Amino acid sequence: MITRRQAIKLAAATTAAVAVATATPSILAQTAPPAGPFTLPPLPYGYDALEPFFDAQTMQIHHDKHHAAYVANLNKAVAGHEDLAKKTVQELLRNLKDIPESIRTAVRNHGGGHANHSLFWQVLARDKPSEPKGALLDAIEKKFGGYDAFKDQFSKAAAGLFGSGWVWLTVDANKHLLLEITPNQDTPLSAGRTPLLTLDVWEHAYYLKYQNRRPEYVAAFFKIIHWDPVAEKFEKAIA
């Protein structure tokens, strides 16, 4: 025979068990990110492909954790907005003013994070020509006074960027090259420019290998720029 006290305890335990059982699926449903519409592009090379300049551990965490989180959070932001889900992330970022105010900051931050990293992976490679050529080189010489001068100005911009952000080579509406910096995950796309080349200057991009030595990270970047896709984007932008 159970006492009244035992019966109350049993009832409480049963209620709690039921509450846990019914709560669990809805907690999962809230925390599991929607599978789309945006997806994490695979790295176009192995994690260790850019060693010793960018280390494998940083590449793995940077792509699989940081970039993945921007994609997941972008998907959360656009959930329930069917019209936005049909657009590319670049289209969203080019027209931020058209995004509902309630999710505009989330799209700017996480959409920016997705688009910026997607470009960043594309413009890196080992054992490719270390300098631009052709029409892009001509434009760099005209704008910056030579490739070395460009490299110097870009490196100084990266070293001097306060906090977290990105350094860019872009093309403006008049088809002129620009050197730009943006804070956080902002992108020159939102200012009407076409990004060609970019460098992630968030600490998560270099801290494991370079700690506070950001200039060494920037110097390493210049050894592994893949200029072919940069030149292709330039030629398309000025066509």
Q: Could you give the C-alpha distances from 155 to 96, 140, 147, 174, 181, in angstroms and in order? A: 29, 15, 12, 25, 11
State the minimum distance, in angstroms, from the CB of residue 201 to Mn ion: 9
DSSP H helices in 51-169: 56-61, 68-78, 82-85, 89-94, 101-106, 112-122, 134-144, 147-160
- The strands making up 177-183's β-sheet, listed across from edge to edge, are 177-183, 165-171, 194-200
Q: Which is nearer to Mn ion, 161 or 205 (CB)?
A: 205
State the minimum distance, in angstroms, from the CB of residue 204 to Mn ion: 5
Find the residue with minimal CB distance to Mn ion.
200
For Mn ion, the binding residues (CB under 5 A) are 200, 202, 205
Q: Which is nearer to Mn ion, 134 or 183 (CB)?
A: 183
Q: Which is nearer to Mn ion, 71 or 205 (CB)?
A: 205
Residue with tokens 């992108």: 187
State the minimum distance, in angstroms, from the CB of residue 37 to Mn ion: 22
Q: Which is nearer to Mn ion, 171 or 205 (CB)?
A: 205
State the minimum distance, in angstroms, from the CB of residue 190 to Mn ion: 18
